[in-house]
Amino acid sequence: MSVLVLAEVDNGVLSPATARIVNAASQLGPVDLFVPGPRAAAEAAASLAGVAKVMVSANSLLADSLVATLSELAVLYPYMVASASSVGKDVMPRLAAKLDIQPITDIVAIEGKNRFVRPIYAGNALETLVDDQPRHVLTFRASAFAPAASGNTAPVEVLENTVQSAAQLIATHRTESDIPDLATAQIVVGGGVSVGSAEGFQLIEKLGKTLRAAIGATRAAVDADYAPNDWQVGQTGKIIAPDLYIAIGISGALQHLAGIQGVRKIIAINSDPEAPIVRIADVALIGDLFEIVPQLTAELERLGIKR
Amino acid sequence: MKILVAVKRVVDHNVRIRVRPDGSGVETQGVRMSMNPFCKHAVEAAVQLAEAGQADEIVVVSIGPKPANDVILTALAMGAHRGILIETDQALETLASAKLLARVVDEEKPDLVLLGKQAVDDDSNHVGQMLAALTDRPQATFASGITLEEGALKVTREVDYGRETLALPLPAIVTADLRLNIPRNAALPMVMKARSKPLAVRPAAEFGVDLTPRLKVEKISPPPERVAGSRVGSVSELAAIIAADIDAMEAI
Pick the residue from chain B with its C-alpha nearest to A169: B166
- CATH number assigned to the domain comprising residue A273: 3.40.50.1220
Contact: A11, B124; criterion CB under 8 Å = no
Q: What is the pLDDT of residue A183?
A: 83
Q: What is the pLDDT of residue A1?
A: 66
Could you give phi then psi for residue A199, rounded to 5 degrees? -65, -45
- CATH number assigned to the domain comprising residue B139: 3.40.50.620
3-class DSSP state of B237: helix
Percent of chain A past pLDDT 70, that is, above it, reads 99
Q: What is the pLDDT of residue B252?
A: 43
CA-wise closest residue to A218 among A178, A268, A259, A276: A259
The C-alpha atoms of residue A226 and residue A220 are separated, in whole angstroms, by 9
Given a cut of 90, is residue A181 above it in pLDDT? no
Q: Which of A91, A122, A148 is the last residue of a domain?
A: A148
DSSP state of A230: G
> How near does any CA of chain B get to the CA of A292, in Å?
7
Given a cut of 80, is residue A224 above it in pLDDT? yes
Contact: A125, B161; criterion CB under 8 Å = no
DSSP state of A240: -
Q: What is the pLDDT of residue A62?
A: 92
Nearest CB among B168, B217, B240 relative to A129 is that of B217
Let me know whether A7 and A119 are in one domain.
Answer: yes
Let me know whether A294 and A195 are in one domain.
Answer: yes
Given a cut of 60, is residue B251 above it in pLDDT? no
Can you give the pTM of this predicted structure? 0.93
Given a cut of 50, is residue A96 above it in pLDDT? yes
Q: Are A280 and A257 in contact (CB under 8 A)?
A: yes
The C-alpha atoms of residue A17 and residue A145 are separated, in whole angstroms, by 9
User: Which residues of chain B does A127 touch, with a Cβ-Cβ cutoff of 8 Å?
Assistant: 122, 217, 219-220
Nearest CB among B138, B179, B245 relative to A166 is that of B138
Q: What is the pLDDT of residue B198?
A: 98
3-class DSSP state of B223: coil
Q: Which residue has the higher pLDDT, A247 or A184?
A: A247
Tell me which residue range forms the domain holding A291. 182-303
> How near does any CA of chain A get to the CA of B248, in Å?
10
Residues 6+ apart with CB under 8 A from B95: A96, A97, A100, A101, A102, A103, B126, B130, B214
Kindly state whether residue B11 falls inside one of the protein's structural domains.
yes
Kindly state whether residue A168 falls inside one of the protein's structural domains.
no
The pLDDT tens digits for A241-264 are 899 999 999 999 988 998 998 899
Establish if A230 touches chain B: CB-CB under 8 angstroms: yes
Let me know whether A102 and A210 are in one domain.
Answer: no
Let me know whether A80 and A136 are in one domain.
Answer: yes
User: Which residues of chain A does B236 touch, with a Cβ-Cβ cutoff of 8 Å?
Assistant: 299
The pLDDT tens digits for A60-93 are 889 999 999 999 999 999 999 999 999 999 999 9
Q: How many domains does chain B have?
A: 1
User: Which residues of chain A does B160 touch, with a Cβ-Cβ cutoff of 8 Å?
Assistant: 10, 85-87, 183, 230, 238
Q: How many domains does chain A have?
A: 2
Instruction: For chain A, give percent helix, strand, coil, nearest 5.
Output: 35, 30, 40
The pLDDT tens digits for A6-57 are 999 999 999 999 999 999 999 999 999 999 999 999 999 999 999 999 999 9
> How near does any CA of chain B get to the CA of A88, in Å?
11
> How near does any CA of chain B get to the CA of A46, in Å?
24
The pLDDT tens digits for B29-38 are 899 999 999 9
Establish if A128 touches chain B: CB-CB under 8 angstroms: yes
Q: What is the pLDDT of residue A78?
A: 97
Average pLDDT over residues B150-161: 91
The pLDDT tens digits for B36-86 are 999 999 999 999 999 999 999 999 999 999 999 999 999 999 999 999 999
Percent of chain A past pLDDT 90, that is, above it, reads 86
Count of beta carbons in the 10 Å neighbourhood of residue B25 = 15
CA-wise closest residue to A282 among B180, B200, B150, B230: B230
Average pLDDT over residues B202-208: 97
Establish if A89 touches chain B: CB-CB under 8 angstroms: yes
Contact: A102, B235; criterion CB under 8 Å = no
Establish if A293 touches chain B: CB-CB under 8 angstroms: no
